[in-house]
Structure 1
Amino acid sequence: MKKLIAIAIFVFAGMSVAQAQKIAKMEFKSETIDYGEIKKGSDGVRVFEFTNTGDAPLVIEDVKSSCGCTVPKKPEEPILPGKTGQIEVKYDTKRVGPIRKTVTVYSNAAESVKALKIKGTILDVESSDEDES
């Protein structure tokens, strides 16, 4: 009877370890968004797309930007294995000059902290709408 109990405990412990080894993995289509050269006041919204290539649900805990000029938006629901998700970033395109910012993603993935980059240049070019006014 003691052997049977010991075997049962060993089997349940083994199942627990197997469950604990499941992990989420985040694979991005691209880790850098290049705005290129865009006009001041242009649409500053861009999207980082990723896939959960792991075998556990991926939870994005937080997304932070290196400055207040970039506002990131994370998925609220877990991303299931094999499914895709998006992290939206909105850059304030009223700021003229070069863009070199970092968006940091915190998650339960194997790589729990991931740095993404945005770059480009905002040009101070008057739009044709303003010239006609």
Structure 2
Amino acid sequence: MKYTTYLMLALAILASSCGNDTTVDTEIVNNPNTASETSVDVKMPIMKFEKELFEFGEISQGEKVNFSYKFTNVGEGDLIISSAKGSCGCTVPQWPKEPIRPGESGEIKVVFNSDGKSGKQHKTVEIIANTQPSNNVVALSGNIIAPSTAENK
């Protein structure tokens, strides 16, 4: 008896939902760029950096290095940066949260903390934006002198 009741209930729900024809507006799912091809007539933003690699030279262990990666949106659409992430916890970026209009400039401020580091270091910051490709990478590198090495010089 319970089986029949559940079966009737399931059939009633199924029958009542058949008339609901929901479609997604094609503009929402229209992405002119695919993994294999980029459309040339789409107004995409383009991030152009003044300098993609900053070489800070030689510093003593524990020093902090600050650098601003200046960029310009040389594309035709508004540039929106969704995130920026350092390759490790010692590299902390700050980025503009508001859209960068075509022709306008902005900067990614990066602080590298050399505490506990020594020797040659190369750190990157990955910037995710509405560009093609969506990943943009800047880097900083230099040499960190440990206290024992610095005292011997």
When normalised by structure 2's length, the TM-score is 0.64
Query: How many Å apart are 1:118 and its aligned residue?
Result: 1.2
On the 8 A contact 1:95/1:122 being kept in 2, the answer is no
1:70 partnered with 2:91: yes
Cα separation, 2, equivalents of 1:68 and 1:38: 19
Q: How does 1:13-24 map to 2 (within 5 A)?
A: 21-24=42-45
- Does residue 92 of structure 1 match 2:113? yes
**1:30-69 pair list within 5 angstroms:** 30-69=51-90
| Structure 2 residue identity aligned to 1:119 | S
| Bigger Rg, which one | 2
Counterpart AA for 2:88: C
Q: Is the 8 A contact 1:96 1:121 kept in 2?
A: no
Match of 1:109 among 110, 119, 131: 131
Kept in 2: contact 1:49–1:85 (CA 8 A): yes
CA distance in 2, matches of 1:41, 1:69: 11
Q: Distance in 1 between matches of 2:86 and 2:94?
A: 10
For 2:105 and 2:133, the matched residues in 1 are separated by: 17
- Name the counterpart of 2:48: 27
Can you give the 5+ residue segments of structure 2 that lack an aligned partner in the other structure?
Answer: 1-31, 33-40, 149-153
Superposition misfits of 4+ residues, deviation over 6 angstroms: none
Code of the aligned partner of 2:91: T
**Aligned counterparts, 1:117-132, within 5 A:** 117-124=139-146
Structure 1 CA distance for aligned equivalents of residues 102 and 85 of structure 2: 24
Separation in structure 2 between the aligned mates of residue 67 and residue 25 of structure 1, nearest angstrom: 26
One-letter amino acid matched to 1:36: G
The answer for unaligned runs of 5 or more in structure 1 is 1-16, 127-133
User: Does the CA-based 8 Å contact 1:25-1:111 persist in structure 2?
Assistant: no
Bigger RCO (CA 8 Å, 6+ sep): 1
Find the aligned partners of 1:123 and 1:62 in 2 and give their Cα distance. Answer: 32
What RMSD in Å do the two structures reach over aligned CA positions? Answer: 1.9
